Amino acid sequence: MKKSNFDRYLDEQLKDPAFEARFNRAGEAWDVALQIAALREKAGYSQKDLAKLLGTSQQQISRLESPGYEGHSLSMLRRVAEALHSKVRVVFEPEGKGNGKKNNRKRMTNSE
């Protein structure tokens, strides 16, 4: 299949480690947002309904369901999951790029 101009552009941008890291984080936030919205809709709740159950605002639920939002707290995700009869599972996966402590410290320092 022939690559589009966007695909070629994205491939080029992903060669930059900083861009790749931002791109991957955005994908993670998108996944969380879509899962919350899907669970809420499956339960038959509006954002306002879920907010009332959680004792928060509809705006906060909207933020949680926004693909660009990265301020999710584990405690809030647990509250949402409980209200939607689900559970939260956090998985750390190796990056596959070396496993030395020195490399990890360097990456953490550069990203802070």
User: What confidence tens digit (pLDDT) does each residue in 68-112 have?
Assistant: 888 899 999 999 999 999 999 988 889 776 555 555 444 544 444
Distances (CA, A) of 18 to 23, 60, 102, 112: 9, 29, 18, 12
Which listed CATH number (3.40.50.1220, 3.40.50.2300, 1.10.10.10, 1.10.260.40) goes with 5-88? 1.10.260.40
91-98's contacts with Cβ under 8 Å and 24+ in sequence apart are none
pLDDT of residue 109: 45
pLDDT of residue 106: 47
* Amino acid sitting at position 53: L
C-alpha R_g of the chain: 18
User: What confidence tens digit (pLDDT) does each residue in 10-55 have?
Assistant: 788 879 888 777 777 767 778 889 899 999 999 999 999 999 999 9
Provide the angle, in degrees to the nearest 10, between the axes of the packed helices 47-54 and 74-83: 110
Q: Which two three-digit tokens encode residue 24?
A: 């991957």
DSSP state of 91: -
pLDDT of residue 93: 84
Say how far apart CA 77 and CA 42 lie, in whole Å: 17
User: What confidence tens digit (pLDDT) does each residue in 58-71 have?
Assistant: 999 999 999 888 88
> What residue segments make up the domains of the chain, in order of their start?
5-88
Does the reported pTM lie above 0.75? Answer: no
27-32's contacts with Cβ under 8 Å and 24+ in sequence apart are 29/67, 29/68, 29/69, 29/70, 29/72, 30/67, 32/64, 32/72, 32/77
